[in-house]
Structures are given as C-alpha cells and as structure tokens.
Amino acid sequence: MKYLNTKHERNSAKITGLTVLIIALLMFVVGAPYKEIPEEYGVAINFGEPSVVNNKAAADSPSKAEEIVDDTQEEVVDSEELTEENPVQEEEVEEVTEEEIKQEQAEIEALEKALEEEKAEAEAKEEAAKEEAAKQEAAEKLLAQQKEEALKIKEAKEVAEKLEAEKKAKEKIEAEKFAAAKAKSEREAKARADKAEADRVAKVKAEKEAKEKAAREAKAEADRVAKAAREAKAKAEKAAAARAAQAKADADKKAAGAAAPVAKNKNGGSTTNGFKLSQEGAIYPGCEGKNNLERKKCMSNKVSQFVNDRFNKTIASDLGFTGDQKITIYFNINKNGQIIDIRARAADPKLIAEAIRVAKMLPKLEPALQQGKPVVDKFSATIRFAEQ
C-alpha cells in the first residue's frame, strides 16, 4: 500500500512529526528537575553497612564503610552545590523554552492555517472535481445522446440512400428500356425514311431521265422546226428583200422621172418632195451612214445581239421551258436619244423582268428626226435564244 502520494498526506505527516517533536521537547525541557538526590544514590551506602546476612565480613570492614559514607557525603555536598546552581540554569531554560514554544505555536498556527487552506483547497478541488465529474458525466450523456442521434441519422440516411439507390436503379432500368425502345423506333423510322428517300430518289431520277429524254426529243423537234422556220424565213426575207429592192429601184426611177426644179415662193422658202427626205429614224451606235431601212435593220440586229449576250438564259431552264425562246421588246426613244417606256412580252414574268433589266442597259441612241427636228420614235425587236 502506498503512502504520502498526495499533498494532503504529506502535509499531515509533516504536522504529525512536528507535533511529536514538540511534545518530546516539552517533556524534556518543561519537566520538573530533581530537588533531592534520589534514594538510589544511597544504595551503595546501605550496601556498605553491616547486616545480618553479611556475618562473614571482616572486622576491619567498617573502615571501608566509613570511607564510602564520606564519599557519599561529598557527593551529597556536590549535589547541593549543583542544586544551588540549577535555578539560574532553569531560568535560562525556561526563557528559551517560552520563546521556542511561542515560535512553535506560531508555526503550529501557521501549519493549522496552511492545513485549513489546504483543506479548503482540497474541498474546493473536491467540489471542482465533483463539478468536473458532473460535467464529464453530462458531456458523456450528451455525447452518448449525440452518438445515438447520429446513429439514428446515419440509419435514416442509409435507408434514404438505399431507397434513392433503388429508385435510381429503377429509373435507370426504365430509362434504358425507354432508350432502347426509342432507338429501335428511330432505327425503324430511319429505315423507313431511307427507303422512302431511296424510292423518291429513284422516282425523281426516273422522272428526270424521262423528262430529259422528252426534252431532248422536244428540243430536237423544235430545232428541226426552228431550222425549217429559219430557212423559210430567210428564204422569205430574201425574196422580200429582192422585191423591196426591185420596188425601190422602180420607185427611184419613177421619182427621178417626175422630179421638178425647186421653185422659190414669195417668202423665199423652198419645198422638197418625199417623206423619206423629211423623216429619219433613230440611229444605233455603229449604224451611221445608212438609209432608213438599213439603219432599222442594223439597229434590230445590234439590239438583238446586245440583249442575247447579256440575257440570263438559265432562267428558262429553271422554269422548265425547252427549245428556243421568243421575247419581244418594246421601247420608245425620246428627243435626247434615251430609251424610255421599256416593255416586253414573254412566256413568264421572270423572262419579262430579265428582258426589261437587259434593255435598260442599252446605250444612248441618236434621236429620230422629222423636218430636221428631234422627235420621239418607237422601236420593237423580237429576240430568240436557245435553252441553256
């Protein structure tokens, strides 16, 4: 068994030892001194006296006894002297003892005070320990309660997570089923769409081939007809030109025979015969130095060439027309030689719009003259072009 482990036990041991020491000192210091020589000091004298028992003692033994008595007396005298000296020593001892007692009492009081303080401190520590134990117990209870609540929360969370996982797994399975069904339906729809597209492409291709074949046949027929028409027209124009030349020659001859000299009137004016001398048509750039008929033919050719070079011929193909296309353009030439009031006639409004667009690009002409003055003149031209 272990002792003096705590401060309280060590202080108790110190106080106990100090108390025993003080009591021992008091017993030795405060105890009453001997006033007389004790009887024990006379034992030797008594033993030296003759007695009945000591019959065998010699005759001269009393002398020794006297010596012993004398010695005893001397010792008694010495004891008396010592007794006379003892009061002074006792007074000194008493003074020293009182001071020591006071000091010891002060020390005892200090120790008692320290003991009380230690006791109070121990009680405070014990109370603090109790409070700490109570706090510890409360903390342990709170911790146990928190652990229990945490366990409940954990269990609830695990249950919720399990339910959520089951729900997600179920949703995943349903989503996979839905995705599989959707993918299957999409594949089937794509297959149907691909088949329909293939059928449509095949149909369009067949229709296109049939249309192209019909167009080629129609174009060949149209080319043949157009060629025949051009040949007939050229032949007719050639015959008409021959007739016109013959008629012109006849008219010139007749006019030359019927010509009369110019007569002066009273106002000093002069007159001429014939409409051709009094009116001239508009002149296209490059057609100068020709008569009216040649200028008109030159202008028609140049306008047709101008429009044919700049006309977007793919419009007719986009519209589905085949063969040669015919467009007639009408416009007026004002007194300044500018082209105004442009109109056109064709098989589709887009062709009309394109013809008007190109006609607006025609260059400025020399205006028509009548009696030497600029006048507004009308013009029309028929343009033919093949499908591109």
Inter-axis angle of helices 61-257 and 7-29, to 10 degrees?
Answer: 160
Residue 25 confidence (pLDDT): 87
- The SS3 assignment for 193 reads helix
Nearest CA-CA partner of 41 in 86, 81, 72, 67: 72
Alpha-carbon distance 102 to 85, whole Å?
Answer: 27
Confidence (pLDDT) at 328: 92
| Mean pLDDT, contiguous 10-residue spans, the chain (388 residues) | 77 91 85 59 50 46 44 46 48 61 80 81 82 85 88 91 92 92 91 90 86 78 74 74 69 55 37 44 86 87 89 84 85 91 91 91 89 89 74
- Give the pLDDT of residue 66: 44
Residue 368: is it exposed, middle or buried by C-beta count within 10 angstroms (0-12/13-18/19+)? buried
User: What predicted TM-score, i.e. pTM, was given to this entire model?
Assistant: 0.31
Q: Can you tell me the distance from the alpha carbon of 323 to that of 387, in angstroms, rounded to the nearest whole number?
A: 6
Which residues have a Cβ under 8 Å from the Cβ of 377 and sit 6 or more positions away?
A: 281, 282, 332, 333, 367, 368
Which CATH code for domain 278-388? 3.30.2420
CA-derived radius of gyration, the chain: 82
User: Which residues, in sequence order, are bridge partners of residue 379?
Assistant: 331
Distance CA 275, CA 251 (A): 13
Q: According to the model, what pLDDT value does residue 252 have?
A: 62
Which amino acid, residue 164?
A: E
Q: Tell me the per-residue pLDDT of 308-340, one tens digit each, with 9 for 90 and over.
A: 888 888 888 888 887 778 899 999 999 998 999
State residue 334's pLDDT score: 92
The token pair that represents 205 in the structure block? 């291709």
